[in-house]
């Protein structure tokens, strides 16, 4: 039995879909049974619980041999991940696949990369097998700019000339699914990227080409940008942590592409052009 966490979220949802298509025996730990109804419809057992509650985590882990650990960023993230790992070890889980981040390198100073570095270390020390999935920037983050792309033909971000090798979460999920269902991925770290290194001006150019209308990248001062998104973040910790991440991207912290998708999945990674085509309704006014 494979236990999924984060299965009602972006990467976890995509991983659940990929694994359900392979008929893997799946259980998901979810907070809201109604929100998780599509998972149940796909044949996934649901256990209602919360990652901050050790009893519900232990309950969800009964009889589980492999687990996918996806926890969103918060000042509780590290504690929840460590608690999950300790419960998993007790429950006899053999292999944990963790969603980490490409920015989680030794010596990282940002709060979120440091959480991933410490969580990875805790998993490695547990004695269970592990696979670290370490993606670049998600293409799906661009959906947050869909409103301004559609209405103003502009995307506002604070990335300066920083490049990313952004990856589609469908590729990240497919690599996770491979790590959970195939042999040979134990005790390996996979940096997952898309096929191209792009500045956000080049990202806007891709939108212009696919949408057939000029889309401009408007580089926005980091402070001003954070003021506009702060109401959507959890608290001051989260605002500071995301500010650090964006500053790091602007400084070139994600300028790296890999051939992980080709090696693990035997095909090319999904391109930005394909991602935009697949989300045309979100980005282009009807």
User: Is 25 or 72 the residue whose CB approaches ligand NAP more closely?
Assistant: 72
User: Is 32 or 161 the residue whose CB approaches ligand NAP more closely?
Assistant: 32
Q: By the 8 A CB rule, do 45 and 16 touch?
A: no
User: Is 52 or 153 the residue whose CB approaches ligand NAP more closely?
Assistant: 52
Q: In which element (H, E) is residue 217 found? A: strand 216-219
Minimum distance of ligand NAP from residue 194's CB (angstroms)? 12
Residue matched to tokens 């359900």: 20
Which of the stretches 3-11, 180-188, 225-233, 275-283 binds ligand NAP when contact is defined by CB under 6 A?
3-11
88: left (phi over 0), alpha (psi -120 to 50) or beta: alpha
DSSP 19-54: HHHTT--EEEEES-TTTTHHHHHTT-EEEE--TT-H
x/- map, 99-138, ligand NAP, by CB under 6 A: x-x----------x----------------------x-xx
Minimum distance of ligand NAP from residue 285's CB (angstroms)? 26
Q: By the 8 A CB rule, do 167 and 134 touch?
A: no
Minimum distance of ligand NAP from residue 52's CB (angstroms)? 5
Which long-range CB contacts under 8 A does 77-83 form with residues at least 24 apart? 77/115, 77/119, 78/115, 78/118, 78/119, 79/52, 80/51, 80/52, 81/115, 81/119, 81/122, 82/119, 82/122, 83/51, 83/52, 83/54, 83/57
> CA-to-CA distance for 220 and 132, rounded, in angstroms?
33
According to the binding rule CB under 6 A, does residue 82 interact with ligand NAP? Answer: no
Q: If binding means CB under 6 A, how many residues of this protein chain bind ligand NAP?
A: 24
- Residues of this chain, 134-193, that bind ligand NAP according to CB under 6 A: 135, 137-138, 141
Residue matched to tokens 């009893």: 55
According to the binding rule CB under 6 A, does residue 225 interact with ligand NAP? Answer: no
CA atoms within 13 A on the CB side of 157: 26
Minimum distance of ligand NAP from residue 162's CB (angstroms)? 13
According to the binding rule CB under 6 A, does residue 6 interact with ligand NAP? Answer: yes
According to the binding rule CB under 6 A, does residue 11 interact with ligand NAP? Answer: yes
According to the binding rule CB under 6 A, does residue 240 interact with ligand NAP? Answer: no
Options 35, 90, 263, 277; binder of ligand NAP; rule CB under 6 A: 35
Contacting residues toward ligand NAP, per CB under 6 A: 6-12, 31-32, 35, 50-52, 70-73, 99, 101, 112, 135, 137-138, 141
């Amino acid at each position: 039995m494979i236990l999924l966490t984060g299965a009602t979220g972006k990467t976890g949802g995509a991983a659940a879909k990929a694994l359900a298509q392979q008929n893997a025996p799946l259980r998901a730990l979810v907070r809201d049974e109604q929100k998780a109804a599509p998972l149940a419809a796909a044949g996934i057992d649901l256990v209602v619980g919360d990652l901050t509650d050790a009893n519900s985590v232990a309950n969800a882990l009964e009889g589980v041999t492999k687990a996918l650990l996806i926890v969103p960023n918060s000042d509780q993230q590290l504690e929840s991940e460590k608690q999950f790992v300790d419960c998993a070890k007790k429950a006899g889980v053999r292999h944990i696949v963790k969603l980490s981040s490409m920015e989680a390198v030794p010596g990282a100073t940002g709060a979120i990369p440091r959480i991933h570095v410490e969580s990875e270390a805790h998993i490695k020390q547990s004695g269970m097998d592990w696979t670290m999935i370490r993606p670049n920037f998600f293409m799906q983050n661009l959906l947050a700019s869909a409103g301004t792309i559609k209405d103003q033909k502009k995307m506002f971000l604070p990335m300066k000339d920083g490049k990313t090798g952004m990856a589609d979460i469908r590729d990240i999920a497919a690599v996770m699914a491979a790590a959970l269902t195939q042999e040979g991925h134990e005790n390996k770290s996979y940096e997952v990227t898309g096929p191209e290194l792009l500045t956000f001006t080049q990202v806007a150019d891709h939108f212009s080409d696919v949408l057939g209308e000029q889309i401009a990248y408007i580089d926005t001062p980091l402070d001003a940008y954070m003021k506009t998104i702060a109401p959507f973040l959890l608290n001051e910790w989260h605002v500071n942590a995301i500010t650090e991440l964006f500053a790091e991207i602007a400084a070139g912290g994600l300028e790296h592409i890999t051939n992980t998708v080709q090696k693990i999945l035997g095909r090319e990674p999904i391109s930005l052009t394909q991602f935009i085509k697949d989300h045309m309704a979100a980005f282009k006014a009807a």
